Amino acid sequence: MCSCGTSGLLGVTSVARMTTRAAMLVLLAGKGLVTSPHMAAATTPEASTCGLGLSGEGGGSCNAGGVGTAGGQHFPSSLYYAETATRTMKTRSELLTYIESEYAFGVVADLDLMSRDPQEFVWRSWLKKGRIIRVNGRMERERFVLAWDEELELRSSTATRNRSMELSELVLYNRLLIAFCDYSGIAYKIDPETGKTFQRWAIADGNGNEPKPFKGEWATVKGDTIWLGSIGFEWYGPSGDVLHRNAEWVKLIDANGGIRNLNWHPVYQTIRSVTNTTLPGFLWHEAVEWEPVHRLWVMLPRFASSTERYSPGIEHDNTADLLIVADEGFTDIKAMRLEHHDPRFGFTSVKRIPGSPHLFMVLRVHEDGQKHRTQAAIIDLHGVFYTEPPYVEVGDRKFEGLAFL
């Protein structure tokens, strides 16, 4: 924003270098008599004496990016930017390809009913931090090992029907670590250094007008938006009829905290058709990732059946071994079976390794009552494993969310 001298005229020292018509417009505008949207077109690049605006007599100053005023009138912002002004290129780091020797990551736990502290009125989860370490030589096939660092307790005193902090997914968004509770529908910001948690959003089920919290099970960042999804199929009532399809909606969360609701029923049905899991079968999603370099969707369903209609409890006998890769519009979908499948384990998260256009880290968990186990692996989009053994032990908790830090 330019401040003029005591004469009340804008850019007196610069007028001499404008065309006659431009000078008249500036003089009249300085008296508050006229504002013209074509004023910038009438000036020449030399009209700017400070690089980003017009400076006036009497020790005028320039504030880059402001909207100029003279005599109470607003000028078009383009007037204050010369053609020779320095421009800054914004680099999207997710589109860059590079190699690191180590990749720091964190995983969060969903302890279900065991999240409630037995002594205090508080609910807990855990953030376990680790590193993927590259062990191959420069000209060798890529190989990785996992190393573990500290484990932080996460606490919250906010709950829904006496349940909370059942964290099912984790994303790094605008340098913030965000975790989602699949029971309370609350999204938390997590400080990865201290373990402190801060509530950010309470997300409603279905189209956003439901009283029930959203059961968020997978999350990824696509462009400038968090995409948060659920298990992705119909829910049945006691009579066996379809009760609702709230789990087929996807939430789009922007940087301002705005939430849009997207009906993904056609997308989920397309995937079920390709994988032969349409009714009476089902396909349960908890691991979905957007791959920005080749603009692909990567999915590893946790449970799947081609013959059994879903009812609570049968899913643990139907863990999936599928890797699904689809183009952005889901018009080209490929599904393959992964090796090293253990029917006790189902996938809960998948994240692209930073800088790599083809490598992903995946989590899979096993539940047996109150006994839980989690394993991790590095794979590519062809189902090739880059860890030895193929699945590495993470711990005896159910870690469902994964993010690179």
Cα 374 to Cα 306: distance, rounded to the nearest angstrom: 26
Identify which of 237, 241, 262 has the alpha carbon closest to the alpha carbon of residue 251. Answer: 262
- Taking the alpha carbons at both ends of the chain, their separation in whole angstroms is 39
User: 261, 251 in Cβ contact below 8 A?
Assistant: yes
DSSP three-state, residue 274: helix
Residue 248 assigned to a binding site? no
Contact in structure between 365 and 372 (CB atoms under 8 Å): yes
Task: For strands 371-380 and 392-395, give the pairing.
Answer: antiparallel
Q: How many CA atoms lie within 13 A of 207 on its CB side?
A: 5
Q: Count other C-beta atoms under 10 Å from residue 356's C-beta.
A: 19
Look up residue 117 and give its two tokens: 């502290």
C-alpha 360/C-alpha 365 separation (Å) is 17
Rounded to whole angstroms, how far apart are CA atoms 131 and 111?
23
Longest dimension (CA), the chain: 85
* 286 annotated binding-site participant: yes
DSSP 19-72: -HHHHHHHHHHHTTS---TTHHHHS-GGG-SSSSS---TTT----TT---EETT
DSSP state at residue 14: H
Listing DSSP states for 70-115 in one string gives ETTEEPPGGGG--TT----PPP-GGG-----SEEEEEEEE--GGGG
Long-range contacts, 371-380 (Cβ 8 Å, 24+): 371/396, 372/111, 372/396, 372/397, 372/398, 373/345, 373/398, 374/107, 374/348, 374/398, 374/399, 375/345, 376/107, 376/146, 376/402, 377/340, 378/132, 378/144, 378/353, 379/323, 379/338
- Which residues carry a binding-site annotation? 168-169, 217, 286, 400
Residues in binding site for Ca(2+): 168-169, 217, 286, 400
